[in-house]
Amino acid sequence: MGYYSTFKLTVQEEDGSPLQEPDFSQIVEHFDILGVINYALTETLDTYENVKWYNSDEHIGFVSKLFPKYIFVLTRDGEEPGDHSKTFYKEGKMQRTQARMVYDEFDPNKLKDCDLFSTEKEFQQLKKEYDLENFEEIRRQELLSKMSEKDKAILGL
């Protein structure tokens, strides 16, 4: 058993630009020495899908300490829905961030038809069936029927 995740590792300069040779080859070599290449990572630092890489923090942290001028970024998608994280490694230290789901704010300019009814006639038929023309009055009568006479008197009804 175990927990499977899909990983993506990138290595970048502090300004965000991609890593260049020859350091790339040296970094791959260090991951190979750690036994990570052909298990969790390919020789291009791509990852295999559905991997159990429990020591990823130790492995990447170690290599990041050997190459302190680079930032290592590990993106992980776990097997459970919503289990996504991104971890940054630099100089043997790490910062883990969890993915956050963010919804857009309401924008009336983005409203579009719901297509609930195929025709206006169908809409009018349902409106009549549920007596929506008299909805407010029906609701008022229901509320009044549940009120005590004392409460009605207090409210002047």
Query: Are 92 and 119 within one domain?
Result: no
Secondary structure of residue 119 in the 3-state scheme: coil
Query: Are 26 and 62 within one domain?
Result: yes
Within the chain, what is the greatest distance between any pair of CA atoms? 88
Using the structure block, give the residue that is written with the tokens 């630009």. Answer: 17
Residues 156, 134: Cα–Cα separation, whole Å:
23
Number of domains observed in the structure of the chain: 2
| ∠ CA 139-141-144, rounded to 5° | 110
Question: Tens digits of per-residue pLDDT, 90-131?
Answer: 999 999 999 998 888 999 999 887 766 667 777 777 667 766
Global pTM? 0.65
Residue 105, in any domain of the structure: no
Query: Are 120 and 81 within one domain?
Result: no
Mean pLDDT of 57-70: 95
Looking at the chain, the number of H-run helices and the number of E-run strands are: 5, 4
Residue 63, in any domain of the structure: yes
* Selected residue with higher pLDDT from 13 and 130: 13
